Amino acid sequence: MSSLTELAEKVGVSPATVSIVLNNRPLAKRVSAKTREKILVLAQEMNYRPNHMALAMQRQTTQTIAFICGRLNSPFYAELADDLAIAAEKHGYRLMVQMTCWDTGKELEALEMIASRIVDGIVLFSGAFPEQADKIRGLYSSKWPLVVLEQRDEQDISSVNFDIESGMRDLFGYLLSRGFKSVAMADDRRFLPKQNAYRKACEKWSITPEFFDFQYWNSESIEQCARQIALERPEALVIASDYAAAHIISVLGKCGVRIPHDISIASIDGTRWSELYNPPLSAVCQNTQKMAEAAIDEIIRRKANPETLPRNIVIPTELRILNSIASKQNNIQ
């Protein structure tokens, strides 16, 4: 691989002229057509590759947006990363993904490492809030706009959140209209937003909350939770994610529990994959495409004018009813 200087020496011009031509700058029109052609042909023959880091330092941009997230091994986060990449590309940016396995220390390390380089913005899906919020603010710089996802209490940094409460109310309204008298929930107790929405819906309809606990990314914990659900058999069950729902439904099937005949189930995610579950999954849908577009648009807005105040953007959820919910009076006992 050749350097810019070597290429310039071969052509017999300055490195600046080569750079102007290869980057198609306006001044390239002042370079003769013969010289431009010679530069382009030799660049290909010599397998010249530009020094992107040097260009980034010069331009103060890499046209790159970073996405820091725990893992991508669940449908929701995989679809979100895909939608972020598509949304970034529409604005001429690339997406760089850094996974942290939901380790708070690794999240801060990733944020500091990425912030020390030239990126045009960072989208952060983190478990570090609220305990490490001050450290994150300390790393924050107006040079690289930061957008955090699903952090409802954060006012000093741009955020994009889903309106879980309205979706949960719609789900409860639908279930009660179908004859259900109780609705249970399965979730990881460490994460509160979905549980809070569930408890508020229970309060609104005077339903006693019934909670089944598990730990995300712990298969044994999810299996134990599913077996407890199989024993108690609630009328209807809200599961906090499509990822957990797939695991729980699988274990319930092994226990002889039929969905929706024995238990009606809805999840909170509504990814495209969950429409292919057996049965297709009813859900309070969190539209990852809308979240991704809102996050990228906020980065572009803050990049264009760093003095603008951060926004807290709320994305509506939508109720999707598929085959995993039946009329209670039609359930086979």
CATH number, domain with residue 9: 1.10.260
Looking at the structure, do residues 156 and 228 belong to the same domain, yes or no? no
pTM: 0.80
Instruction: Please compute Rg for the chain using Cα positions.
Output: 26
Looking at the structure, do residues 197 and 213 belong to the same domain, yes or no? yes
Looking at the structure, do residues 78 and 203 belong to the same domain, yes or no? no
Chain centroid, CA 173 distance in Å: 28
Task: Mark out the alpha helices in 91-208 (DSSP H runs).
Answer: 104-115, 133-139, 164-177, 193-204
Looking at the structure, do residues 115 and 227 belong to the same domain, yes or no? no
pLDDT tens digits, 75-132: 999 999 999 999 999 998 999 999 998 888 888 888 877 766 668 899 999 877 777 7
CATH number, domain with residue 304: 3.40.50.2300
Looking at the structure, do residues 45 and 130 belong to the same domain, yes or no? no
Give the model's pLDDT for residue 56: 47
Give the model's pLDDT for residue 61: 58
Looking at the structure, do residues 150 and 174 belong to the same domain, yes or no? no
Domain count, the chain: 3
Residue 226 CB partners (closer than 8 Å, separation 6+)? 247, 248, 250, 251, 252, 255
Give the model's pLDDT for residue 261: 95
Give the model's pLDDT for residue 332: 42
Looking at the structure, do residues 170 and 283 belong to the same domain, yes or no? yes
Give the model's pLDDT for residue 118: 67
Looking at the structure, do residues 238 and 326 belong to the same domain, yes or no? yes
Query: Which residue do the tokens 């810019």 mark?
Result: 4
Residues of the chain with pLDDT under 50: 1, 52-57, 330-333
Give the model's pLDDT for residue 102: 85
Looking at the structure, do residues 216 and 260 belong to the same domain, yes or no? yes
pLDDT tens digits, 39-64: 888 877 777 665 544 444 455 556 88
Backbone angles phi, psi at 47, to 5 degrees: 55, 45
267: domain range? Answer: 164-287+320-330
Can you tell me the distance from the alpha carbon of 101 to that of 266, in angstroms, rounded to the nearest whole number?
26
Looking at the structure, do residues 237 and 296 belong to the same domain, yes or no? no
Contact between 237 and 187 (Cβ < 8 Å): no
Residue 79 CB partners (closer than 8 Å, separation 6+)? 271, 272, 273, 288
